[in-house]
Amino acid sequence: MTKPPTRIQKRNRAAILSAGLDVFSQFGFRGSTLDQIADAAGLSKPNLLYYFPSKEAIHTVLLERLLETWLDPLKALDGKGDPVKEIMAYAQRKLALSRDYPRESRLFANEILQGAPRIEAILQTDLKALVDAKGAIIQGWSDAGRIARVDPHHLIFSIWAFTQHYADFDVQVRAVLGDKAPYDGAAVFLDMLYKKLLTP
């Protein structure tokens, strides 16, 4: 019978994953090393290897956790709700995800830019199935005249692009806005944009 992890083991594992998230989101998978992650976690490399046998193992755990979080906002889109409100609420949930999980957003972006070698199968199965299912709901709303005519997939892509931009290009956004809080203005603009776009 396997012993449950001790408090120190839980703490060290969490420190490694947090450090891995920092390093991978900054340098990408290829540009990151175990030495960088160990240093960021405040552990020796041999100590890190006690918990994870490779940087691939750390990266895999981070991506698995990320994908669960990343799909939740779209899963919450309710086909029985008010169409405009449901889509706008989805966009706001995605924006909040970028605000609250910027490292995860950049980790995901880096993986996609590298051709998604570690998550391509999930993109082609779980993600595609979810987007197709929710896209069918949006298409039904559009066909029934409950929202303006839109292509469901491109609508979802536009929400991804708009909201994730604030995390993935944070330095650029803050350089342009200066002291302004980016997410406050983004939330207001997001509501205005999609309400005008979707209202029949």
Look-up: residue for tokens 């830019």?
113
Task: Give the integer Cα–Cα distance in Å for 38 and 17.
Answer: 10
- Angle in degrees, CA 38, 39, 45, rounded to 5: 40
User: What does pTM read for this prediction?
Assistant: 0.86
Please give the structure tokens belonging to residue 155. 């609508």
53-90 per-position pLDDT tens digit: 999 999 989 988 888 888 999 999 999 999 999 999 99
Query: Which pLDDT value is given to residue 1?
Result: 61
Query: Which pLDDT value is given to residue 165?
Result: 96
Task: Give the integer Cα–Cα distance in Å for 86 and 198.
Answer: 11
Task: Give the integer Cα–Cα distance in Å for 157 and 12.
Answer: 37
- Give the count of beta carbons closer than 10 Å to the beta carbon of residue 177: 12
Instruction: Catalogue the E-assigned strands of 15-70.
Output: none
Query: Which pLDDT value is given to residue 55?
Result: 94
**pLDDT beneath 70: ranges in the chain:** 1-2
DSSP string, 79-114: TTS-HHHHHHHHHHHHHHHHHH-HHHHHHHHHHHHT
Task: Give the integer Cα–Cα distance in Å for 67 and 51.
Answer: 22
- For residue 146, the 8-state DSSP code is S
Enumerate domains of the chain plus CATH numbers: 1-53 (1.10.10.60), 63-198 (1.10.357.10)
Query: Which pLDDT value is given to residue 68?
Result: 82
